[in-house]
A and B are shown apart, each in its own frame.
Chain A
């Protein structure tokens, strides 16, 4: 069975500092991996996804993530945090074949302070 673990339910960084949100997955087949962001009282918005090909994936708002098969990880990074990055971030995994069933991690709430 597939699963996702997000290390750290809360992460706090200073504005301008590096953002690193950790995601590890478990999957018996090659996974598809996603990062979503959720602002308060809103739906989820896709930041980026990995399907095949280049393991370093660039997304919106300056975020990127690297798929590391050997570490079963898909950590999300941004070189310089902005106040507007404060939100909750969800990592998700799906498997090939059939419909697109996403398994979500518990989420990481990112706080950015001046």
Chain B
């Protein structure tokens, strides 16, 4: 069966510090991968998605970047965190093919607090 991991689970960082959040998927190959942010009391905002190694698309211009160094690894980064980067970050994966109807499976999330 497939599983998705995110770490760390919780992170408290000062403004201006760097960020690296990691997401890995097990039990599947060539997944689509996604990063979402969920701000308090708000819905999910798609930040980045990837259809393959090294292929990253950004949905919202911002202070963050993403990378996919391996097929089942997706990393969210920032060089300098802002207060507005605080939130709950969710990674998700879906299968390729049949475009649009595949279920996205979410990881447990990372709660980031920037002080």
A→B interface (CB under 8 Å): 32, 34, 36, 41-46, 49, 51, 90, 94-102, 104-107
Contacts and interface: CB of A to CB of B under 8 A. Distances in A.
A46 B103 contact: yes
Interface of B: 32, 42-44, 46, 49, 51, 90, 92, 94, 96, 99-109, 111
A45 B109 contact: no
B109 A43 contact: yes
Contacts of A41: 109, 111
A102 B46 contact: yes
Nearest to A97: B99
10 nearest CB pairs, A to B: A43-B106, A106-B43, A51-B101, A96-B100, A44-B106, A104-B44, A104-B43, A94-B100, A98-B99, A97-B99
A17 to B, nearest CB: 25
21 contacts: A41-B111, A42-B109, A44-B44, A44-B90, A46-B104, A46-B105, A51-B101, A90-B44, A95-B100, A96-B100, A99-B32, A99-B94, A99-B96, A100-B94, A100-B100, A100-B101, A101-B100, A102-B44, A102-B104, A105-B43, A106-B42
B43 A107 contact: yes
Contact of A34 (B46, B49, B99, B103): B103
Given A45-B106, A49-B103, A51-B101, 7 more contacts: A32-B100, A44-B106, A90-B44, A94-B101, A96-B99, A99-B96, A102-B46
